[in-house]
Amino acid sequence: MAGEGGRRTEREPVAVVTGGASGIGHAVVADLAAHGYRVAVLDREAPADGDADRVRWVVGDVRDPEANDRVVDVALSGFGGLDLFVGNAGVHDGGIGVRDVGGAELAEVTRYVLDVDVVGYLLGARAAAEALADSGGSMVFTLSDASYLVRGNGAGIAYAAAKHAALGMVRHLAADLAPAVRVNAVAPGGIVTGLRTSDGRQVFADADEIAATVRAFNPLGVVLCAEQVAPLYRFLASPAAAGMTGEVLRPDGGLTVR
């Protein structure tokens, strides 16, 4: 007997991914394309590998509502529909604590991180919601161990606030959009990527030192790579997850039992 839920179309599945030029998003795009998806990507940077058979790129900023509409349009007009929206583009705060900088700088960093990591996700969700309701599709957002923890993971107060807010947004969207659209998330621990701060510095500039810190911090003693977490996004969009919404998968080496 066929189970209930899931997408209602026979065409090849289509995804939109934000922040797909680097790190986790890049691995998600590759994983989806390798498994039959066609993917439209929104990133502020053009990737080195450019347009490919199954992947189209839109250069724009997730803080811009029009850029989010544009990438959904590329999916609909170029690929014939939309089944999955992955909200992933994000920036870090560099670990700034409340007493580390002056008020003006604290406000500037916090506004920037919230704008990209929360407002950017919301604008993507808004742009994709109608098409996903039409197809019986779903959304998956990248959260973080910083959606739960407030110390020890290198995040500062703005990043913790943004990732906690994004968790609330995922749960609210899941309730709001049910039963038409499922909304879930992946919350990784530390993964060495090109993640940048609001002023453009690399968070993981010293990859070996960061890897050692991440390893020491989680009970499994692991440092995952982006390619290891990418299949979780595809799983959450698959019929196997048809009964899941408002859920968060946490590939973080077991931080809940720390």
What residues act catalytically? 159
184: left (phi over 0), alpha (psi -120 to 50) or beta: beta
Give me the half-sphere count of Cα atoms (radius 13 Å) on the Cβ side of residue 107.
Answer: 3
Q: Tell me phi and psi for residue 48, to 5 degrees.
A: -65, -35
Is 12 or 49 the residue whose CB approaches ligand NAD more closely? 49
Q: Which residues form the interface with ligand NAD (CB under 6 A)?
A: 19, 21-25, 43-45, 61-63, 88-91, 116-117, 120, 142, 144, 188, 190-191, 193-196
Strand 182-186 and strand 38-43: the pairing is unpaired
Is 90 or 94 the residue whose CB approaches ligand NAD more closely? 90
Structure tokens at 200: 């453009």
Question: Cis peptide leading into 219, omega within 30 of 0?
Answer: no
Is 25 or 81 the residue whose CB approaches ligand NAD more closely? 25
Alpha carbons 62 and 199: distance in angstroms, whole number:
17
Give the shortest CB-65-to-ligand NAD separation in angstroms: 12
Give the shortest CB-200-to-ligand NAD separation in angstroms: 10
CA nearest neighbour of 179 among 244, 90, 99: 244
**Core vs surface per residue 114-147: b (16+ CB within 10 A) or e:** bbbbbbbbbbbbebbbebbebbbbbbbbbbbbbb
Give the shortest CB-25-to-ligand NAD separation in angstroms: 5
3-class secondary structure for 136-181? CCEEEEECCHHHCCCCCCCCCHHHHHHHHHHHHHHHHHHHHHCCCC
Give the shortest CB-81-to-ligand NAD separation in angstroms: 23
Give the shortest CB-78-to-ligand NAD separation in angstroms: 19
Is 25 or 94 the residue whose CB approaches ligand NAD more closely? 25
Is 82 or 162 the residue whose CB approaches ligand NAD more closely? 162
